[in-house]
Structure 1
Amino acid sequence: MGKATTSRRQALRAIIYARLSPTPRGEESKGGNLTQQVELSQSLCDRKGWSVVATIVEKDTSASTKRGTKRSAEWERVKALVEDGKADAIVSRHYDRMYRTPWDLEDLVDLAEATGVTLAAAQAQGVLDLSTPSGRLAARIGAVVARNETEMRVERQVLGHQRRRESGRPFWSTRPFGFERDGRHREAEAEALRQAYRDVLAGVTLWSIAKDWNTRGLLSPHGKEWCSSNLRSVLLKPRNAGIQTYSQWVEKPDGKRVRRTEETGAGNWEAIVSEGIFRALVRYLSDPERNTGGGGKRKALLSGVVRCSKCQAVVTQGWSKKNAAGERYRIYTCSGGRCITCPADPLDSFVVRKVIDRAEEWNAAPATDAADEERETELLAEETAASERRTALAEMFAAGDIDASTLRTGIGRCDADLTKIRAELADLASQRVRVDLGDVEYLWEDLDYEDPDRIDYVRTVVMQVCERVELMPRGRGVRSFKGEHCRITFRNP
């Protein structure tokens, strides 16, 4: 009887469980890599003669998870196998791989008491018997030590980030587009970025810019071609304006972790574009009313630019019904309910001719204003002061000088001030973004609707000069287009 019992205990059915915790860059996980964990656990099972019924690995589970957060699906699978009687032992490289927090350990104690599961670690002598007071004490001491090591690692990581923020030096894992790793400009890419900011603010599509970069061989640092989405992401990077950021993973109330990035001040590298231009582009690309055109090439010159005078919806390009000769022609149609339609070619011609008439006036206007430049300097100083107040509040809260309510109120005021300041900076920058109207007439004469670059340029000029273009009702039975069917409000140059 005794021999049979001994034999049964020696032939346990084991689950190998490996978990890899996230660590700061350059540090090795305490648990080693997953392959090492599995190999060491397998060796232990081989020495003891245990059969392995499952190998379960888990990546990137934080050891600092708060109490009440559910364990991962992988660990729940381990528990299910044990509770269903399909496994008698859990084997890991170290015991701390089986629990992340002291609260996780108490759940493991409950599992051991309910099922009698054996816990074994390749880097420990013997098994962990949670059915005895001394075994539970040893496990709890180990959990507290592991928790302390996690907290110290997090503290080192936070201090490291703080030193980098204070130094203002670039800390980029890969070379960003427009820069070298040390913060110097890669001039061809930097100039392309400067032009892209001006073009986007003037109305050129991201698709057209991406197409141009790909044609010129300006690929991403990873050697990939550009499209609207990755170009948009690059243009929205604060580093292009010399602004330093700090990113960290934060846990939401539902247990999900999201990456949050916040600006921490000026970096010590030279900006590619001014902060005002950057703020203007962020606001422009974030505008929910902006007509993105689906990220592809333009199909019509004034689609999304002209509005219906009745419902204020933008017009889109369409095609007329076939006439007696079986022919159709391009039309613009109100997207809000077909309130108004209009032949496209005469409307395009009318609007562009009106813009050409204003070309001389616009080209003669000054591109910058001394008062605007002085105001921009003041705004940048105000922004720096508001950011410093925000940082000071966080430091006061950490030191215990103010409570959480005071912190929230102060941070809210600082954020409101920053939003207002950055909006005004964006306005000033947008006013300075200008296009050359000198070649408009030539471009119009040679306009090719199969070439989106030509459409984009003329469209950019129209949006620069015209504040509003509205399509007026033509009256019942009127099919031809007249100048009175279009109302244009010009911008002040």
Structure 2
Amino acid sequence: MGTIVLVCPSKLYVLTPLRTQKTHTVRSDQGGNGAREGAGMLDVGGYTRISDTGQIGDGRDGRQGVIRQREDVYNLAELKRVNVRHVYEDNDLSAYKRNVSRRGFEEMTADLASAAISGILAYNIDRIARQPRDLERLIDIYEQARRPMIFATTAGDYDLTTPDGRFEARIHVNIANKFSADAARRVARQKLAEATEGKPHKGQRAFGWKDAEHVDETEAEILRKARKDIVNGKLVASVHREWAEAMVRTPQTPSGKTISYSSVTYVLRNPRLCGYRAYIPRCTATGPGAWTPSSTSSSAWTAPRSSGRGRPSSPRTSGKNWWTFSTLARKRARAARSAARSQSDY
């Protein structure tokens, strides 16, 4: 359509059609090459995360939560007119606990640093970081980048290239960190109260029990035999080898793997064996538990703890002769090196 000229007695109107360019946000998980319409659109990464289901009791429901966040990310991308190159997901993982490794977050951070993506979209900043150190890693990338970048959430945007934007992001992450710390303290206090009252621990059943209160006689007999063997002088390592060969597994043993040595040690030292309810963070027995013990005597717990019979010593370090030979060998090696240096001086 060309230009239209309207001529009136008193005025001249020139009508030119506007040239608009339609843009679309392309979902990378819909197949194809992911080619997008419109030039200049940033490739960004979406991030979704739900923490441990039921850890704080705020109604989180795991997988459904990250699905909803994924939809929020794509809606936000349409609003910001950017292309979602990839959605990084960490389901059932905490951003507050220091010992948790988030694979999705690490992949996103690496792609951001390598310029594979030029921004992050998320439902909220506390989905991305609840520890200030994680936010600082992202801030370093944004500060050093020499390209257009975006950091947006449904609650608002953060310009991490400016002091004000970094200040706002740091405040929100610190608030989220404080909330998690308060929640963790409340949960720990609740667990301590339950332990003091002798209530069974919630979660997977312990080895030797059908559930939180009733004994599994088959597994209980395995525990009684192991206790007697250790009292009579058998090594815990030997018990571990027997259990592995017999395919004895605890509810916590990963699928396709045999029981580990540390698991055998933990099972044999579990205070539940004699009816004690322990509060693990303090490693103390707080009192009798409200369940049936797998043994009528506390020796089922104290014997493996006091025996000190663990892994057998390595043949390299168990004998006196080896240490004598080791000392002699080191002396001869030093003498040989000294002689070689002396000859090289001449």
How many Å apart are 1:284 and its aligned residue? 3.9
CA–CA separation in structure 2 for the residues paired with 1:150 and 1:100: 8
CA deviation profile, 1:72-110 (whole Å, cap 9, x unmatched): 675454344344444332111212223323454455445
Unaligned runs of 5+ residues in structure 1 are 249-260, 292-310, 314-493
User: What secondary structure is seen at the aligned counterpart in 2 of 1:286?
Assistant: coil
1:286 is matched with which residue?
309
Confirm or deny: 8 A CA contact 1:169 1:267 kept in the other structure: no
Confirm or deny: 8 A CA contact 1:15 1:87 kept in the other structure: yes
Which of 235, 241, 244 is equivalent to 2:274?
241
Which of 151, 157, 176 is equivalent to 1:119?
151
Report whether the alignment pairs 1:263 with 2:284.
yes
Query: Aligned letter for 1:96?
Result: D
User: What secondary structure is seen at the aligned counterpart in 1 of 2:283?
Assistant: strand
2:73 is matched with which residue?
41
CA–CA separation in structure 2 for the residues paired with 1:91 and 1:103: 19
CA–CA separation in structure 2 for the residues paired with 1:212 and 1:104: 44
CA deviation profile, 1:187-223 (whole Å, cap 9, x unmatched): 5544553344224433576379759988xxx986699
How many Å apart are 1:171 and its aligned residue? 0.8
CA–CA separation in structure 1 for the residues paired with 2:138 and 2:241: 58
CA–CA separation in structure 2 for the residues paired with 1:22 and 1:226: 26
How many Å apart are 1:136 and its aligned residue? 4.4
Report whether the alignment pairs 1:52 with 2:84.
yes
Which of 209, 233, 252 is equivalent to 1:179?
209
**Map of 1:305-344 to 2, 5 A cutoff?**
none
Which of 98, 110, 117 is equivalent to 1:87?
117
CA–CA separation in structure 1 for the residues paired with 2:166 and 2:208: 57
1:157 is matched with which residue?
187
CA–CA separation in structure 2 for the residues paired with 1:287 and 1:231: 11
1:146 is matched with which residue?
176
* Cα distance, 1:23–1:152 mapped onto 2, change above 3 Å: farther
User: What secondary structure is seen at the aligned counterpart in 2 of 1:170?
Assistant: coil
Q: How many residues align?
A: 273
* Cα distance, 1:169–1:15 mapped onto 2, change above 3 Å: same
Query: Aligned letter for 2:228?
Result: R
CA–CA separation in structure 2 for the residues paired with 1:162 and 1:145: 26
Confirm or deny: 8 A CA contact 2:227 2:303 kept in the other structure: no
1:202 is matched with which residue?
232
Query: Aligned letter for 1:51?
Result: N
Which of 169, 178, 200 is equivalent to 1:170?
200
1:96 is matched with which residue?
126
Relative to the length of structure 2, the TM-score reads: 0.59
Query: Aligned letter for 2:73?
Result: S
Unaligned runs of 5+ residues in structure 2 are 1-19, 24-37, 322-346
* Cα distance, 1:181–1:288 mapped onto 2, change above 3 Å: closer
User: What secondary structure is seen at the aligned counterpart in 2 of 1:185?
Assistant: coil
* Cα distance, 1:193–1:88 mapped onto 2, change above 3 Å: closer
